Copies of this chain bind each other. A is one copy, B any other.
């Protein structure tokens, strides 16, 4: 549109590349940024680049880290004998919020997904096997997503870890807390029934 100066249009285009940001929200954000003092935009610009410059992957678990090790791996209070395997580092946040896990993580970097040409070589499996052997790990909890790809990956992990003798478990799939049975799908209900436990 001719009524938007090109510099502003560039910002709107760049903002609308962010996930979950449409053209209208990008416009709103850009006008908001235009109204606020320059220092605020500078802070945001600095934060954007700092993330790329200062962060890398944890050498041990491949979570996002500032330095060699991520905050979880460098926390001496965590149990190093239990490893929770996740697909992406973003999966760690909700698990940490639950407060129910006190071990370490291992970020696979994906799942088996033939449609996306992603095979077992694209996952950090060798690194996982290495850790289980070297770090005297007793249990590996597989927390890949409850999707077809996630389940296939979980089976693969159990297979490749069999020689190490470590216990390999899978997080429970069932009806979400606070939900309504009426709206649960059959696959979930079937899993919930299979995985039932004593009261």
User: Interface digits, A25-55 against B, CB 8 Å rule (1 contact, 0 not)?
Assistant: 1011111111000101111111111111111
Q: Which 5 A-B pairs have the closest CB atoms?
A: A45-B45, A5-B66, A11-B47, A3-B96, A38-B52
Q: How many residues of A contact B (CB 8 A)?
A: 58
Across the interface, do B41 and A52 meet the contact criterion of CB distance under 8 Å? yes
Binding-face segment, A15-23, A130-138, A161-169, A176-184? A15-23
Say if the beta carbon of A90 comes within 8 Å of chain B: yes
- Cβ of A96: which chain B residues have Cβ within 8 Å of it? 1-3
- Cβ of A38: which chain B residues have Cβ within 8 Å of it? 49, 52-53
Out of B15, B34, B64, name the residue touching A5 (CB < 8 Å): B64
Across the interface, do B45 and A3 meet the contact criterion of CB distance under 8 Å? no
Binding-face segment, A69-77, A143-151, A187-195? A69-77
Out of B14, B20, B50, B53, name the residue touching A28 (CB < 8 Å): B20
Say if the beta carbon of A100 comes within 8 Å of chain B: no
Out of B48, B72, B97, name the residue touching A41 (CB < 8 Å): B48
